[in-house]
């Protein structure tokens, strides 16, 4: 039975619970269309963030940022600290909000992690198609496959073309942090749908974009965030983007 008093109380509590905020620099469509030019600096995008991901100017490395420290993972797979004045082509950064523990069972693959996130959203009565989730998974993993990319070898190359020659690194056992975002599955090309994770090892010797993973002994956190509107007229329609080349399972 609907209880109007209880409903009003829940709405009042919801209004007092401040969501975090997600800032995204450039649209996904712009990136997929082959615009890898500098959009902002690493300091401006990640300097005051709790976590973030992105790619460097001219695709000179995948970016992973955690608690204000930012690295890029170039084509050799060895993370390098990024200075605040270095420029990036694309970035997503999370700020503020309330941290909650996320139950990701041991043995979860990427699909299992998504299922755990969506189960949490269902418990909190949040619609996965209406919110963005920032995610942090720390601990031990197995069957890890990460990738990075080299700068394009010819002018006008799309991101899909670059990804076709991505460099992959496989680890039977791996320890570190995986951070990223679960976006709504439906997109107009401004955001990347689904779960998007980047990784940095505990000893900062490896990392990159996560293609494949199995959790073993991990602790996970989640934040439900509000996405700031992306003002970007030069984006590619979602129908023209094959996101599976970017986020799909490895061959």
Give residue 8's Cα distance to chain centre.
34
Per-residue pLDDT, 66: 95
Judge whether 198 and 179 are in contact, CB under 8 Å: yes
The answer to whether residues 22 and 72 touch, using CB atoms and an 8 Å cutoff, is no
Residue 233 pLDDT? 56
Q: The tokens 């601990």 sit on which residue?
A: 139
Instruction: With a cut of 70, say whether residue 61 has pLDDT above it.
Output: yes
For residues 65 and 47, the answer to whether their CB atoms sit within 8 Å is no
**DSSP-assigned beta bridge partners for residue 144:** 171
Of the candidates 121, 67, 70, 69, the one whose C-alpha atom is nearest the C-alpha of residue 95 is 67
Residue 170 binned pLDDT confidence (cut-offs 50, 70, 90): very high
Residue 204: predicted pLDDT: 96
pLDDT score of 238: 53
Query: Per-residue pLDDT averaged across 73-82, rounded?
Result: 96
pLDDT at 179: 98
**CA 23 – CA 251 distance, rounded (Å):** 32
Q: Which two tokens stand for residue 92?
A: 């997503």
- Whether the CB-CB separation of 21 and 228 falls below 8 Å is answered with yes
Which pair of structure tokens corresponds to residue 215?
Answer: 């959790």
Name beta bridge partners: 182. Answer: 133, 195
CA 213 – CA 40 distance, rounded (Å): 31
DSSP designation for 195: E
| 3-state DSSP assignment of residue 87 | strand
Does 185 or 195 have the greater pLDDT score?
195
217: number of Cβ within 10 Å: 11
pLDDT recorded at residue 142: 98
pLDDT of residue 29: 85
What is the pTM assigned to this prediction?
0.87
CA–CA separation, 11 vs 176, rounded Å? 38
Which residue would you say has higher pLDDT here, 135 or 249?
135
Can you tell me the distance from the alpha carbon of 227 to that of 21, in angstroms, rounded to the nearest whole number? 6
Binned at pLDDT 50, 70 and 90, residue 187 comes out as confident
Other C-beta atoms lying within 10 Å of the C-beta of residue 181:
26
| Contact between residue 115 and residue 206 where contact means Cβ atoms under 8 Å apart | no
For 1-22, write each residue's pLDDT tens digit. 333 443 343 344 444 445 789 9
Q: Which residue has the higher pLDDT, 241 or 131?
A: 131
Separation of alpha carbons 148 and 206, rounded Å: 11
């Amino acid at each position: 039975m609907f209880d109007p008093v209880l409903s009003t109380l829940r709405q009042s509590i919801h209004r007092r619970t401040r969501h975090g905020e997600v800032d995204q620099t450039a649209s996904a469509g712009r990136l997929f269309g082959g615009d890898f030019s500098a959009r902002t600096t690493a300091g401006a995008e990640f300097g005051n963030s709790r976590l973030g991901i992105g790619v460097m100017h001219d695709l000179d490395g995948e970016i992973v940022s955690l608690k204000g420290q930012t690295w890029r993972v170039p084509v050799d797979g060895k993370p390098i600290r990024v200075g605040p004045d270095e420029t990036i082509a694309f970035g997503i950064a999370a700020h503020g909000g309330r941290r909650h523990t996320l139950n990701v069972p041991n043995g979860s693959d990427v699909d299992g992690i998504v299922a755990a996130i969506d189960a949490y959203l269902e418990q909190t009565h949040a619609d996965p198609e209406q919110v963005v989730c920032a995610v942090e998974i720390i601990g031990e993993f197995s069957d890890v496959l990460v990738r990075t990319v080299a700068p394009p070898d010819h002018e006008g190359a799309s991101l899909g073309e670059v990804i076709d020659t991505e460099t992959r690194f496989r680890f039977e056992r791996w320890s570190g942090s995986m951070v990223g975002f679960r976006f709504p599955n439906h997109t107009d090309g401004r955001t990347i749908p689904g779960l998007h994770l980047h990784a940095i090892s505990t000893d900062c010797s490896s990392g990159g974009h996560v293609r494949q993973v199995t959790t073993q002994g991990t602790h996970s956190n989640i934040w439900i965030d509000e996405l700031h509107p992306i003002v970007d007229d030069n984006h590619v329609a979602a129908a023209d983007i094959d996101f599976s080349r970017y986020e799909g399972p490895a061959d």
